[in-house]
Amino acid sequence: MTVQTAVSAKDIEEAFLSLQPIVKETPLEKDHYLSLKYDCNVYLKREDLQWVRSFKLRSAYNAIQVLSESEKAKGITCASAGNHAQGVAFTAQRLGLKAVIFMPVTTPLQKINQVKFFGGENVEVILVGDTFDDCLKEALEYTEKHAMNFIDPFDNVNTIAGQGTIAAEILKEAQESNIDVDYLFAAIGGGGLISGVGTYFKEKSPQTKIVGVEPKGAASMYTSVVLEHHRVKLPEIDKFVDGASVAQVGKITFEIAKKVVDDYLQIDEGAVCSTILDMYSKQAIVAEPAGALSVSALEQYRDQIKGKTVVCIISGGNNDINRMKEIEERSLLYEEMKHYFIFNFPQRPGALREFVNEVLGPNDDITKFEYLKKSSQNTGTVIIGIQLNNHDDLTRLKEKVHEFDPSNIYINENKMLYSLLI
């Protein structure tokens, strides 16, 4: 049997019609804050407002509904960092199917609980593996052993067509508002979203430039398409942007992306954190890291998008509130506002006052101070965290710290030491 490896605008339009009774038509909203900030017209496609708070409902439902009745009776499986799992769970409950869902052990608890909520008694959740790829291996072995149907999160034409329905919806809404889209920014994980959306835009709005956005620590599509010119598996990834941290993109999505994506951007995870906080404080939008990728990319395209019409897909809003402290920390480190040092501290009265007066600026703040006095020594080792009011003061701070202790260690530049101590 020949396996379909291409998706067309017609496939996406058929999926769009079949999904209309199921998925929510999410708004395409003009964002006045971002439009003013970048001197252009920025519209946000709010897939974070979807029923399962991400676009993955579209692809999961579309991939499952095309199964035959005999296939549905065998049950379905999937591997997911969270959002695809919620889409599969929602669909399984809606269609009355048995589903076994594999999720990495590192998946935020909020996403695990949401999967159980949407799936109810129809769904069994199995946590296994540290990464998506480890989880995927276990899921495929289980699927084969139990003769079930694996619902791929991205490397399946029906999955891709379902995700492409976002593009059909965007252009429908844009036409109703007399909008011509110059740029479209979308996140890339395994490549399903960018493949579906890119395919539809290239056929229906070829003048629109398609920009794929990946986390810097997991840029598997950029590495495969641009650097290596073949599909590769990254030996190591940063899992922070969990919804888009995939070591290897799909075979089908790789081939499609080569044809439909005009540019690839890699965004530092710290910049993503800054965007999440900015969206929350300025726009009251709760975006997960992968959902904020598209907006994070605007800074790199500031000059190109000036005066243009831009659409950013906010792909998901399943952000665990327990991660907010880490998100704030990563943002401060990226913005060069928070700095950690190890140095020798004199063990004499008044030493701390001397440090504060001679090293810190008037608006600097000590956020961490760990020190154990040892009576048999003249100095003791200190771990100190300092938050600046202005990142331009960093050079001055380093100079002052060096004067205080020339042998100091700047922890920010040592990832292993930072992870161990902070």
In this structure, the strands spanning 41-46 and 28-30 are: antiparallel
H or E stretch covering 419: helix 415-421
Measured CA to CA, the distance from residue 99 to residue 74 in angstroms comes to 9
Catalytic residue among 296, 315, 331, 338: 315
CA torsion sign for 223, 250, 6, 194 is negative
56 belongs to the catalytic site = yes
- 239 pLDDT above the threshold of 50: yes
- 1 pLDDT above the threshold of 60: no
Query: How is the chain split among helix, strand and coil, in percent rounded to 5?
Result: 50, 20, 30
- 376 pLDDT above the threshold of 70: no
Model confidence at 111, pLDDT cuts 50, 70, 90, reads confident
Catalytic residue among 56, 202, 209, 239: 56
Measured CA to CA, the distance from residue 95 to residue 349 in angstroms comes to 72
54 belongs to the catalytic site = no
- 156 pLDDT above the threshold of 50: yes
Task: Give burial (CB, 10 Å; 0-12/13-18/19+) of 312.
Answer: buried
What predicted TM-score, i.e. pTM, was given to this entire model? 0.92
Q: What are the tens digits of pLDDT across the range 345-362?
A: 888 888 889 999 999 999
Question: Could you tell me which residues are beta bridge partners of residue 310?
Answer: 42, 183
Task: Give burial (CB, 10 Å; 0-12/13-18/19+) of 415.
Answer: exposed
- 98 pLDDT above the threshold of 90: yes
- What does the mean pLDDT of the chain come to? 94
Q: What is the pLDDT at residue 350?
A: 87
Q: Tokens for 112?
A: 């695990």
Q: Which residue has the higher pLDDT, 169 or 134?
A: 169
Q: What is the pLDDT at residue 251?
A: 97
Q: What is the pLDDT at residue 380?
A: 85
- 3 pLDDT above the threshold of 60: no
Task: Report helix, strand or coil for 405.
Answer: coil
Calculate mean pLDDT across residues 84-112: 92
Window from 9-18, 270-279, 329-338, 365-374 with minimum mean pLDDT: 365-374
- 312 pLDDT above the threshold of 80: yes
Q: Of 271, 277, 4, nearest to 157 (Cα)?
A: 4
Q: What is the pLDDT at residue 118?
A: 96
- 160 pLDDT above the threshold of 70: yes
Whole-angstrom CA distances from 402 to 104, 409, 417 are 43, 9, 19
Residue with tokens 């079930």: 148
